[in-house]
Structure 1
Amino acid sequence: METHTHVYILVAFLLGTKGLLLNLNQTQGPSMFERLNALEKQLADEKRQRYLLQVEYSEEKERIAELRHLQDTMNETNQKLLQDYNSDPKRFQDISTQIRGALLSIYNLDSKHNLDIQKVLDALRDVQTSLTDITSNQSDIFQLQRHFREKQNVLSNMLDAVKRNQTTNKEKIKSLRASLVSLANSQKNLQSTVNSTSNKQTSLNTQFNKIQRSNVAFVAELSHDVVNPQDRYHIIFDNVKLNIGENYSANNGVFTAPYPGIYHFALELTSPPQSSDHTLHVQIIKNSVSVAVTFLDSNTQQYLRRTGSIILELDTSDLVWCQTDHPFDSNTLTSGNTYSMFSGFIIHPL
């Protein structure tokens, strides 16, 4: 706006001096008036060129605004990419590097456009400064005309350079937009990969937990004979041979279920020959309730070996142990050499 005002003042000044120049024409000839008319026409052409340049400059500013909006959109996209960075650091670092390169290219193009426009505006200011120095001296007018022609040539060359740069920049921006679309597609593919990897990780964790819960087993035997036990005597198999998961206690002979599941328990008992008839029952107890029983009765001639087993569904912290039931007369449970053993393991966690 300030540039237009200066031009209007200059044109008014020239029109005001037109009468003075007409007087000069009476002594210097009609060629002076024709030159002044030519100069006025040239100034009008210059004004029109400046107007066209301003229009082109406004269009360029709109393009730059679009580029800046695109840059903001890219910044938002870059923030989303950074949120998923930990999922695949190296791949996201490569994408971030490409995006920063694209943003830097756009910024450089923006700076170059601004520099070209600034050069044109500087040239226009030089023209305005030159116009203010116009006097009625004919030699000054001729010099000004030459100066105008030189400036016109400079401005024409600069405008041609700006147009060439605009064409090149449009192609670069088109290429950058295509690259950004490709990067966005790559981001979607990476997100799909991350989601798939996360699902696989969840599945693996579930399988690992099931495998981990399957690692429960124990085997224990008597380290010393149990002689003439009383009724409801709690048998402690204190010599532990296997205790995966550490869920069987050699101190009290109790197995504690670590997880809900289906468990198998087995009891192997050996009794030496006795001098008279006898009775001995050994129960497997679940939470104080008998769930299985093994009989060692009436053995007077040889060693007696009995086995018993059961499959139980247990909840977490359920207890399983062995105890005697209704012993009669003399009874002995033989220890050592796997004669009397208590064992168990998990079949399937629930």
Structure 2
Amino acid sequence: MPHVADENVNIMMKESNTSIPWLENSSYIVNIHSSGNLDKRQQINRQDRLLSPLPTTGPNAVAFYAVMSRPLTNPGDQHTFIFDEVKINAGNGYRPHSGVFIAPNTGIYAFTWSMRLYGTEHHSAQLMVKGHVHGAVFLTVGGSSNNDNVSGTGVAFMNEGDDAFIRTATGNLGKIESDSSGYTAFGGWLIK
């Protein structure tokens, strides 16, 4: 025999005249424990969604995300980061051999970057847009066994052909870490 709360849920579901689009062509299954309480797991038959085509990007979609596949040892001042492992490059604006993003379309872009350090290292990573410092993050690690990460976000108007990249500032010390435990990364996308 179902619990009273279960009966109320079943009645509400039967008497409801509201339209829930994602339920209209799906079966709704509620699991009931032997105690009569509703199971927290609710299952939706998603066959109609699984059979639909994969989403595609529009002709003007621009988005990229890339990581360093290995650490960068003592990069020095004003050294451009090379993010050689590209995860996505819609619009083909990111150049993995140079580490530079070249805007394929005019518009407003959002950028994000991160840097991971270990031990007693300290570095500043600057977002350069059209040859000027547009944003910067700084991280100093305070001990031999510390492992820290810093990230930054910037938004910029770019004309088609303008460039953006990440570089070190001045007064850096040590290695910039990047591996599957924590990547140093760079990404961006066209907002509008």
Per the normalisation by structure 2, the TM-score is 0.66
User: 1:118-129 maps to which residues of 2 (within 5 A)?
Assistant: none
The CA deviation at 1:246 is 1.0
User: 1:267-278 maps to which residues of 2 (within 5 A)?
Assistant: 267-274=113-120, 278=121
Higher RCO by CA contacts (8 Å cutoff, separation 6 or greater): 2
Q: Does the 8 Å contact 2:118/2:141 carry over to 1?
A: no
User: 2:127 maps to which residue?
Assistant: 284
User: 1:243 maps to which residue?
Assistant: 89
Q: Does the 8 Å contact 2:83/2:99 carry over to 1?
A: yes
User: 2:187 maps to which residue?
Assistant: 343
Match of 2:177 among 326, 334, 346: 334
The CA deviation at 1:212 is 2.4
SS at match of 1:226: coil
Match of 1:321 among 160, 165, 185: 165
The CA deviation at 1:289 is 0.5
Q: Does the 8 Å contact 1:265/1:310 carry over to 2?
A: yes
User: 1:18 maps to which residue?
Assistant: none
Q: Does the 8 Å contact 1:279/1:296 carry over to 2?
A: yes
Residues matched between the structures, number = 133
Q: Does the 8 Å contact 2:117/2:141 carry over to 1?
A: no
User: 1:299 maps to which residue?
Assistant: 142
- After superposition, the C-alpha distances for 1:294-340 in whole angstroms (9 at most, x for unaligned) are 11114324101101001111111000001101134x32211222521
Q: Does the 8 Å contact 2:141/2:147 carry over to 1?
A: no
Q: Does the 8 Å contact 1:279/1:326 carry over to 2?
A: no
CA distance in 2, matches of 1:309, 1:299: 24
CA distance in 1, matches of 2:103, 2:112: 15
What's the RMSD between the two structures over aligned residues?
1.4
AA matched with 1:212: P
- After superposition, the C-alpha distances for 1:228-271 in whole angstroms (9 at most, x for unaligned) are 11101111111111111111011101001011111000001111
Q: Does the 8 Å contact 1:266/1:310 carry over to 2?
A: yes
Q: Does the 8 Å contact 1:281/1:325 carry over to 2?
A: yes
Which 5+ residue runs of structure 2 have no aligned equivalent? 1-57
- After superposition, the C-alpha distances for 1:197-236 in whole angstroms (9 at most, x for unaligned) are xxxxxxxxxxxxxx422x1000000011111111011111
Higher helix share: 1
Percent same amino acid at aligned positions?
27
Per the normalisation by structure 1, the TM-score is 0.37
User: 1:145-294 maps to which residues of 2 (within 5 A)?
Assistant: 211-213=58-60, 215-274=61-120, 278-294=121-137
AA matched with 1:280: H
AA matched with 1:233: H
CA distance in 2, matches of 1:345, 1:227: 29
Q: Does the 8 Å contact 1:270/1:339 carry over to 2?
A: yes
CA distance in 1, matches of 2:140, 2:157: 30
Hey, which bits of structure 1, 4+ residues long, moved more than 6 A? Answer: none
User: 1:56 maps to which residue?
Assistant: none
Higher strand share: 2
AA matched with 1:309: T
CA distance in 1, matches of 2:86, 2:188: 12
Say if 1:339 and 1:299 are closer, same or farther in 2 by CA, change over 3 A: farther
